Homo-oligomer: A and B are copies of this chain.
Amino acid sequence: MTKVFCDWGTSNVRAYLCDQDKVLNQSSAATNLHDAKRIGFENVMLEILQQFDVPKTAPIRLSGMVSSKNGWLEVPYVSTLASSSSISHNACRVGTFPDLKIYGGVSHRLPNGRHDVMRGEETQIFGLLQLHPHAQTICLPGTHSKWVTIVDQCIESFSTWMTGDFFHCLSEHTILQAQIDSTDFEESAFLNGVAAAESSRSLLNEAFYLRTDYLFGRLTSEESHSFLSGLLIGHEIAATAAGHEEVYLCGADSLLPLYSLALKAKGIQTVCVSAAEASLNGLRAFEMEEQ
């Protein structure tokens, strides 16, 4: 029986038509949540079914930011300890489709009463665990990177790092912008940034030395972009990766090599899995829990 799986994020929808273990067809549309709301989530979904030439009665499973307040339907978070089974059973039905369900995200309560949250990454995590069942530490690099501890194939805890978000705003909207002349990747400048993060007191202070290194001729304008990237990623991993021998990385193809390079510079082994592959595997794993 054919099924439709959608990784439905803030900025686009990736849909897969699957039959048992095979992907029969796939589509990708840059329909962001704001546009989807305007067009109607139901209409976007109907168009995907039409592309795939399958009826409304097909099993359809969605995950990602489509389950958020700004999505199709706000699906409650599953609390840690979270298993693929608990996420599957927390799914909510929506729309006029007989068998459409949206999986919610995961929340983790910190000892101080605050919360950390994810929506979409849990699907990648359980997809990655299909491929690597013994993974214990998973990092999902991105605008808001996640560091996840797995115990007995469950999400035990995780933390979010605004590394990508900081990178874009610091490189484009602070004094550092004036010296950034190129976005080409310069490996040695990147690794120097990673190393600088090690001895840093604070990002608020350390980031200023990009400016003075430039003023004193220790850093070129071509190197500044890569150095800043290394500084921020280095800052993230200095706080999260210490003590780990192996980290599983899952994310965009553009970020995996950077995190891998930074972790290897600290003597930590990495295994990389693409986000798209992990998302599809995760959606299938959740759906399998219903059987």
Question: Looking at the complex, which of A40-48, A213-221, A222-230 is the stretch in contact with chain B?
Answer: A213-221
Nearest B residue to A208 via CB reads B160
In whole angstroms, what is the CA distance A168 to B174 when docked? 8
Interface membership of chain A positions 80-102, coded 1 if the CB is closer than 8 angstroms to chain B and 0 otherwise? 00000000000000000000000
How often does this chain occur in the complex, in copies? 2
Interface size on A, residues (CB 8 A): 39
Nearest B residue to A178 via CB reads B70
Can you offer 19 A-B residue contacts whose CB atoms are under 8 A? A112-B199, A114-B213, A114-B218, A115-B215, A116-B212, A143-B175, A144-B208, A159-B201, A159-B205, A162-B175, A162-B208, A166-B203, A168-B173, A169-B169, A173-B173, A201-B239, A202-B235, A202-B236, A204-B232
Inter-subunit contact A204/B161 (CB<8 Å): yes
Instruction: For A199, list chain B residues within 8 Å (CB).
Output: 112
Nearest B residue to A172 via CB reads B173
Interface membership of chain A positions 225-255, coded 1 if the CB is closer than 8 angstroms to chain B and 0 otherwise? 0000000100110010000000000000000
Nearest B residue to A206 via CB reads B162
Q: Given contacts A114-B213, A199-B112, A235-B202, are A207 and B162 in contact (CB under 8 A)?
A: yes
Instruction: For A232, list chain B residues within 8 Å (CB).
Output: 204
Inter-subunit contact B117/A166 (CB<8 Å): no
Instruction: For A166, list chain B residues within 8 Å (CB).
Output: 170, 174, 203-204, 207
In whole angstroms, what is the CA distance A223 to B172 when docked? 26
Q: Given contacts A212-B114, A218-B114, are A204 and B174 in contact (CB under 8 A)?
A: no
